[in-house]
Structure 1
Amino acid sequence: MKSIFRVLIVAAAILAAPMVQSIALAEEAFCTCRYCESAAARAAFGVDLGNDGPHYAPIREVDIQHIKLDITPDFKKRTVGGTTTIRFVPLRKPLESLKLDAVELTINKVEGSSPVADFESTNSDLTIAFEKPIPVGQEAWVSIEHHCEPKGGFYFRTAELGYPEEDTHCWTQGESHYARQWFPCFDYPNEKSTTEVICHVPLEMTVVSNGRLLGESVNPDTKLKSVHWLQDKPHVNYLICVVAGYFDKLEDKAGDIALGYYSQPTLSKYAANSFQDTASIMKFYQEEIGVPYPWHKYDQATIRDFLAGGMENTTITTLTHNTIFSSETENIRSSRGLDAHELAHQWFGDYVTCEDWSHLWLNEGFATYYTHLYEGSKFGRDATLYGLYKDAKNRVLSSGARDHRPIVWKRYSNAGDQFDFRAYPKGSWVLHMLRSQLGDDMFRQAIQAYLARHGLTTVTTPELQAAIEETSGRTFDRFFDQWVYHGRHPDVKIRYRFDPKLSLAKITLEQTHKVEDDVMMFHFPATFAFLCDGEVVLHTEDITGPKSEFYVSLPSKPTMVQFDPEYTLLATVDFDKPEELWVAELENSKRAIGRIFAIEALAKKKTNKGIEAIAKALESDPFYGVRIEAAQALGKIGNDDARQALQQVPAQEDARVRLEVVKSLVRGYQPEMVHQLIAGAQKEKNPAIESAWIAGMAKYSDPAVGQYLRAALKKESFRNEIAESAVEAMIASGSPEYVADITAELKSNSENYTNRGVVKLLSGLALLSDDEEQSRKTMDVVTPFVNDPRTDIQKAAIIALGQLGVKEAKPILQSFAETSNDEELSKAAEGAITALDKDRNLKPAEIVELRKQLKELEKSSESLEEKVKDLQKQLEATGS
């Protein structure tokens, strides 16, 4: 019963105090490249290749030398047509027919330098038969006239689709196999060629593509502008890019390299924020990599509702429009990481490209790692290690413990399966461990040799290993076998004892993970640091088996004992040592990573001494990451001493730290804090931090909270961040009193919300509408949105109709389930019908009475927690 669900949601919100953080806040670090843990999201970047065994790069029958695209996008019909000319040379044997990837393309005409006997087009490919076989080594060409209404690969953003008219544009996305959806091609990364694009658009529009601009002209008959681009160095097919439409442009230079930044007119006044680091990143990469930027220019273009964070097309990176941010959020919002990641790809992924998707880490691992290196160049070594720490903690160690697939994995069913933690953060960690073992200089020499030998070609992992081994003069077979060709990471358990008579430290180190066919026993160097009389003693032991015991002679009893002080090993570590040694590490560790590990350990102990040490670190540690982790630790501890420490912390200049302090302060259920929440939000000028205060209000039914949330709906902020946070808090409260407010926003103010915000409004109405009368009224508000031009909003409206439980919505839902051409919408409608068909009218008198009691309870804070607990017991007694 819907009403029961709402009762339980409200009770849970009050008792468990869930923190429903603003989605905008959750996007402090924008999605990097195409990485995502979601299987559905990963699938969006790869065609289904089946489950029938390992996948290898396809055999090339020809060497494609040049691709010329002459295209005309139709922004009204959302179609694209044109002519693709492919110049090629047959390999190994005379070519009787040429097979190209071509998904749902209408092929109008095919011509060639060698007479074409016939051609056949299916939903997936185009086969061109020649009258006579083309001899091996003889250059030839085919010219294909085609047209399509693309389902993917080529995307339009127009007013008819719900976007601002002045932002009208189109863009392409090739990786992994989507170029084939708008032009015929050999669509796999083991082929490189030069490319050429001629695009015809209305006069006021801009066209950006790969390489260098050859010129522009106007056709007096069509009144269209023709823009001609040439990429004269070979690159793979998926990196071909066209961006066309209304853009504002900013310009810069990095040495002799021209930098262009294109953004939508409605966002362009904020665009400089997002591109402020590009020149600096370019300079650092050229120095660090030791290979000059290999292309003619570097452009970046934001595009509306991109599929992920960004795409490193050769010389023209496309970026989500969400990377643009307002300076009001200080350093909480940043495009620096996304900018650095995509620019690193111009070397790793574009100049040297993985030959097949099993070796994707050669693209993504490098881009991820060099992003961390740039962060370190800008903010110090601790910044690099902190980025690696967050990757390990939040992505690799948790995912890798349950997912034992190796980095190089050929048994994927979908190329998108490879775009996960293994290619990105784990690949980055592999490079970090290599650099740690080789040393900075030798690592740089190896990477320079790798790029020099394989520039403008495709590679697999053995090519990287060979460059490292030739440079260093040592074998890395075991390293690559355990980290790249096998899965997981080591679980390390460490025990330390000190013998004062002999002045010996005894270390016992065990690998406790399960060794299986796909997980090896790891071999690695283990370094320990001992602080004795103010001097650090280092000892490194080669770990080769499941258990190692060794002794270290020391001049005196150490006051600090650290494992892996420079953070060079990807592992889950359980280090059992006395609290005073953790406190000493928090106070004395040279690297911030040691101080962070100390905070983790002390937070688990929850002693007064540990809380005091963490609070001191929050107040005065020189590295912002340590202060962030300290604030989070105190919030998780959550007792009176921890809360008091958070209350008393001096004002933090770094907005990222202030944000974490607020998020930790608003954890839990503390009725006495209501007015502090409101006061904190009222005086806050940073919208991201104000949103954190607002998120904390969701647990309280105080009238002052409702008044603040309603006022926040009318408060202006970039991308309506504050209003959307208020909506999320209203939804999290579970209270139907906000239905009228959300309804008013949908009816009269939805144009000021992002797509995500409108989705929140729709789903919130469905959740909060309590009784049958209210649900019917809400249905009238929601129904118009099922025809919204934006698919995500259509889907949200369809789902909301199912959740409302109003039977009259069924014919509407059936129409989508039966006739929608969009599979996603039809599936959503089918699910909504299933939800609707459930009996939602069972309302025993006991439950009705409980609802009345809960409504009264929401109006009073007296004995709130005890009363809700009693209501829960009554609900359980009814069997509901």
Structure 2
Amino acid sequence: MTDLKPFSTLLLSCMLTAAFTSSYAQEASQPENPALKIYRATPTKVNDLIHTKLDVRFDYKKRYLYGKEWVTLKPHFYPTDSLRLDAKGMDLKNISVVKNGKNIPLKFNYQDSLSVAIHLDKVYHNNESYTIYIDYTAKPNELKQKGSAAINDAKGLYFINPDGTEKDKPTQIWTQGETESSSAWFPTIDKPSQKTTEEISMTVPAKYVTLSNGRLASQKTNTDGTRTDTWKMELPHSPYLFMMAVGDFKIYKDKWRNKEVNYYLEPKYAPYAKEIFGFTPEVIEFYSKTLRVDYPWNKYSQIVARDYVSGAMENTSATLHGEYVQGTHRELIDAYFNNGRSTIVHELFHQWFGDYVTAESWSNLTVNESFANFSEVLWAEHKYGKDVGDEHNHDDMLAYLRNPDAKTKDLVRFHYADKEDVFDVVTYQKGGRILNMLRNYLGDAAFFKGLNIYLKTNAFKNGEAQQLRLAFEDASGLDLNWYFNQWYYGAGHPVLNISYKWDDAAKTQTVYLQQSQDGQTFKLPMAIDIYSGGKKERHKVWMNDKADTLTFHLATKPDLVNVDGDKILLAKKTDNKTIDEFSFQYFNAPLYMDRYEAIEAAAANQKEKPNQKIIIAALKDKYYGLRIKAIKALNLTNDDIRNAAQPVLTSLAKTDDNTLARAAAITALGKLKAAGNLTLFKESLNSESYAVQGAALTAISLLEPAQALPLAKGFEKDNKGALTAAIFNVYAANGGSAEWPYIYNTFKSSTIQNKFNSVQKFADFTGRVEKPEYAQQGIEELKAFGIKYKMYGAAQFAGGVLQGIKTQRTQMNDTASATAADEAIKQLADTK
């Protein structure tokens, strides 16, 4: 599953929950869930899947799939006369065993509509296979299955705009198998520990194209206006990785070495296929060489679907992406690594870690998702430089550290309430950081040799964390039980306090290290770099206890003692350096995090000259991410800062080669409300970048609100991203009924993240808009928002803003809207 960035669905859920619960009183602590006491064993293997053959067609009107299946199995070890298949919410019309080309009906029990118990015709042994024929109808829209923060629905099969009634939305069908939802569209043993080859024949309207795993083996045109496409996957993979997609897609054909690499996009995005996905062959080559295991499947396709229920899904040889990865040329100007491209490389790495070798249970999901998360850093530093990789690594660590519940969860998790719960910041963001630390500890050569051993040993099979440990130990010759025990089978992270003392008489530098977290003491190998006399000396040390004292004998007081010199530790650190030491660190230590930490320290007190020196210098940092950080940190109410920063900001706003840095500089200048910048802002409206245009429009609205409104009108026909948000904000602040349709339609069609960002302004506008019918549209949309995202606390949040709207509409003598708000509040209360 997706890394869940740039919207990380997982991370987003944490952000939403935090935001809603910080705005409103948190509910009382819930009693411990008894499900957390249950040991989640790897499912027992009674029968093994060998081959799955499907013949399916679709009823768009009913939202049904009519399927015929031939599934070949054999007993895993012990003889058996029974078979249990997962089959969720289906009509099972016929289940037979195939003997000499004939179907012999079997007895079966399907009382719970979740799995079917089949009585075989005889006792089978593990040296003989058998084939079961099933005639069935899948009814995904009638299935009630729980999703998760990562995968917000579990129907398995999705009909998108099947009647063609939704304007500007294509008609599509696609599947989502993870975690165990493939069994909502075909009966199977829906466990990651199963592997099967596959053949799928799809009969679809002839105007549509199809995509599935493996190769397109044949296409047959039928006399009724349909076409039957047959796809074959001749290498074994897990059922949750089966996929189908049907719709009006344009296919851009690319290649890696002698293998097909294809991109499936809606026609309007087809011209930008190369810009969106064109770097894919380069990534395949890099991963193949790095892992010394060539891309293992016969093709790689990527398809973008509407209304996808997660970020993306690594279906074997056929990844399905949510809409956010695609864009026009203008949108992609602002799309740096974190905007979709990190997802593209994440899903591609899964073709090795997750598809080629698959987690043997959801408890060991780390061997799928932690690796895919780690791969984002791996690619970023290779392609864009170490600063980009380090920023990505740090952002993910913060996502983990900011989640208050994460510190209580093991990475390998044998106790959970629901398998969906394992898809979280521990498995993704923390797990990726743990791998990056291990890479640093072992060194690249040993680390990647370990990955090679793990992949080759478990190819087309299943893996778990212990096999990973053995592979790394084999490669390095080191015992790693201590590392896996504390990071994989334990919870939490070190909370590390670092302080220093220089004794001039004894010429000794003392470093005090203190871990203050509850629970286990972490064993921490680290580098300490001492800068003195124009030289850097590295000391490799171990912190083995909750408190350690390290002493270094030096000729003179050092300019800097840099603990965790590689800036690799997964820890919440408090580093008690002086601002002069942080200043030295900014200008002399090499890494992104060295400069980041110095900027953080300087931002806290910008009245002091050393702090100002760091902040102003950072405006010209070599990495745009730190330039942006410095811009956002500026305290422009301080005269010294403002006077020093303003000419730099003006230069950045005009000439920075990064559009996001330009936009940040314009945003900062806009807050000054200086009339002399108006020309710069208006010129910036001509930029090709939506981010720059959005920042400029916002800056003009702060300086000349009356001018901003007609300027915003001029962008209504062509706006995306930051410019859309800027128009929305200008209208929300200064618009009236004439601007309501744009506000309403923008909010209604927004992604969950954008809805979250704009919900308060939308509510404010709903409360004051002149026309009652518009107010009632807004009330209905806020109610829908609260209900749809109630799992994140949105029902409570929406109820609160609707209470404010009710008061406003009452004051405006709009009884109908006040009543509508009151009814919506009651309905939201019932959903909690």
Same fold (TM over 0.5): yes
The reply on whether 1:349 has 2:350 as its aligned counterpart is no
Q: Distance in 1 between matches of 2:35 and 2:114?
A: 15
Is the deviation greater in 276-285 or in 155-164?
A: 155-164
User: Pick from 96, 103, 113: which aligns with 2:98?
Assistant: 113
The reply on whether 1:603 has 2:608 as its aligned counterpart is no
Q: Distance in 2 between matches of 1:498 and 1:608?
A: 24
Give SS of 1:83's match. Answer: strand
8 Å contact from structure 1 (residues 210, 315) kept in 2? yes
Is the deviation greater in 532-541 or in 602-611?
A: 602-611
8 Å contact from structure 2 (residues 766, 779) kept in 1? no
Is the deviation greater in 315-324 or in 588-597?
A: 588-597
**Corresponding residue number in structure 1 for 2:737:** 740
CA distance 1:682–1:624, change in 2 (3 Å): closer
Deviations 1:528-572 (A, max 9, x none): 111222211111221111111121123433223212222221112
8 Å contact from structure 1 (residues 715, 723) kept in 2? no
Give SS of 1:232's match. Answer: strand
1:50 positional shift: 5.2
Give SS of 2:727's match. Answer: helix
**Corresponding residue number in structure 1 for 2:417:** 413
Q: Which amino acid aligns with 1:147?
A: T
Give SS of 2:288's match. Answer: helix
Deviations 1:233-258 (A, max 9, x none): 11111100101111001111121221
Q: Distance in 1 between matches of 2:541 and 2:758?
A: 58
User: Pick from 236, 239, 245: which aligns with 2:238?
Assistant: 236
User: Pick from 253, 278, 281: which aligns with 1:279?
Assistant: 281
**Corresponding residue number in structure 1 for 2:88:** 103
Cα root mean square deviation, aligned: 3.7
Q: Distance in 1 between matches of 2:502 and 2:585?
A: 17
**Corresponding residue number in structure 2 for 1:538:** 538
Deviations 1:629-679 (A, max 9, x none): 2223226x8634444444221322122322333444456x86879958964
Q: Which amino acid aligns with 1:311?
A: M
**Corresponding residue number in structure 1 for 2:624:** 624
User: Pick from 447, 465, 468: which aligns with 1:464?
Assistant: 468
Q: Distance in 1 between matches of 2:581 and 2:756?
A: 50
Q: Which amino acid aligns with 1:143?
A: Y
1:207 positional shift: 0.9
8 Å contact from structure 1 (residues 368, 424) kept in 2? yes
**Corresponding residue number in structure 1 for 2:56:** 71
CA distance 1:664–1:39, change in 2 (3 Å): closer
**Corresponding residue number in structure 2 for 1:439:** 443
Deviations 1:742-767 (A, max 9, x none): 334379x7799657789999986653
Q: Which amino acid aligns with 1:406?
A: D
1:344 positional shift: 0.5
Deviations 1:173-208 (A, max 9, x none): 000111121111111111111111111111121111
1:268 positional shift: 1.9
Is the deviation greater in 435-444 or in 84-93?
A: 84-93
- After superposition, residues 786-865 of structure 1 pair within 5 angstroms as 804-805=805-806, 808=816, 830-831=827-828
Give SS of 2:7's match. Answer: coil
**Corresponding residue number in structure 2 for 1:840:** none
**Corresponding residue number in structure 2 for 1:124:** 114
- After superposition, residues 116-155 of structure 1 pair within 5 angstroms as 116-121=105-110, 122-151=112-141, 152-155=155-158
Q: Distance in 2 between matches of 1:268 and 1:811?
A: 47
8 Å contact from structure 2 (residues 52, 199) kept in 1? yes
The reply on whether 1:776 has 2:775 as its aligned counterpart is no
Q: Distance in 2 between matches of 1:758 and 1:507?
A: 48
1:399 positional shift: 2.1
Q: Distance in 1 between matches of 2:374 and 2:516?
A: 28
1:498 positional shift: 2.4
8 Å contact from structure 2 (residues 691, 721) kept in 1? no
The reply on whether 1:448 has 2:434 as its aligned counterpart is no
Query: Quick one: higher RCO (CA 8 Å, sep 6+), 1 or 2?
Result: 1
User: Pick from 371, 375, 385: which aligns with 2:380?
Assistant: 375
Q: Distance in 1 between matches of 2:587 and 2:381?
A: 22
- Could you tell me the TM-score, scaled by structure 1's length? 0.80
CA distance 1:697–1:399, change in 2 (3 Å): farther
Deviations 1:502-536 (A, max 9, x none): 4322111111222x2xxx10111232111222211
**Corresponding residue number in structure 1 for 2:507:** 503
Give SS of 1:605's match. Answer: coil
Q: Distance in 2 between matches of 1:63 and 1:321?
A: 36
Q: Distance in 2 between matches of 1:165 and 1:186?
A: 38
8 Å contact from structure 2 (residues 325, 341) kept in 1? no
**Corresponding residue number in structure 2 for 1:15:** none
**Corresponding residue number in structure 2 for 1:3:** none
- Could you tell me the TM-score, scaled by structure 2's length? 0.85
**Corresponding residue number in structure 1 for 2:146:** none
**Identity within the alignment, %:** 25
Q: Which amino acid aligns with 2:195?
A: K
1:810 positional shift: 9.8
The reply on whether 1:289 has 2:285 as its aligned counterpart is no
Give SS of 2:483's match. Answer: helix
CA distance 1:426–1:498, change in 2 (3 Å): same
1:464 positional shift: 0.4
Q: Distance in 2 between matches of 1:779 and 1:627?
A: 42
CA distance 1:768–1:746, change in 2 (3 Å): closer
1:262 positional shift: 0.3
1:434 positional shift: 0.9
Q: Figure out how many residues of one structure are paired with residues of the other and give that number.
A: 775
Deviations 1:96-147 (A, max 9, x none): 3221111111112111136444223232122222343334432111111111
**Corresponding residue number in structure 2 for 1:582:** 582
User: Pick from 160, 168, 173: which aligns with 1:170?
Assistant: 173
CA distance 1:572–1:645, change in 2 (3 Å): farther
**Corresponding residue number in structure 2 for 1:205:** 208
Q: Distance in 1 between matches of 2:318 and 2:39?
A: 33
CA distance 1:655–1:162, change in 2 (3 Å): farther
CA distance 1:529–1:808, change in 2 (3 Å): same
1:471 positional shift: 1.9
Deviations 1:376-421 (A, max 9, x none): 111222322221112112x122226863211112221122211111
Q: Distance in 1 between matches of 2:395 and 2:697?
A: 26
Q: Distance in 2 between matches of 1:762 and 1:413?
A: 32
**Corresponding residue number in structure 1 for 2:45:** 60
User: Pick from 338, 345, 351: which aligns with 1:340?
Assistant: 345
Give SS of 1:343's match. Answer: helix
Give SS of 1:522's match. Answer: coil
Q: Which amino acid aligns with 2:630?
A: A
CA distance 1:108–1:643, change in 2 (3 Å): farther
Unaligned runs of 5+ in 1: 1-26, 43-47, 818-826, 836-880
Q: Which amino acid aligns with 1:657?
A: A
**Corresponding residue number in structure 2 for 1:704:** 707
**Corresponding residue number in structure 2 for 1:549:** 549
CA distance 1:95–1:742, change in 2 (3 Å): farther
Q: Distance in 1 between matches of 2:637 and 2:233?
A: 58
- After superposition, residues 25-44 of structure 1 pair within 5 angstroms as 30-32=6-8, 36-38=12-14
CA distance 1:478–1:183, change in 2 (3 Å): same
Q: Distance in 1 between matches of 2:510 and 2:310?
A: 49
8 Å contact from structure 2 (residues 95, 135) kept in 1? yes
Q: Distance in 1 between matches of 2:560 and 2:773?
A: 66
**Corresponding residue number in structure 1 for 2:74:** 89
CA distance 1:722–1:793, change in 2 (3 Å): farther
8 Å contact from structure 1 (residues 189, 356) kept in 2? yes
8 Å contact from structure 1 (residues 662, 692) kept in 2? yes
**Corresponding residue number in structure 1 for 2:30:** none
1:834 positional shift: 9.8
Q: Distance in 1 between matches of 2:214 and 2:543?
A: 49
**Corresponding residue number in structure 2 for 1:863:** none
Q: Distance in 1 between matches of 2:234 and 2:476?
A: 35
Deviations 1:583-622 (A, max 9, x none): 1111111222211111111222324323432344334322
8 Å contact from structure 1 (residues 35, 424) kept in 2? no
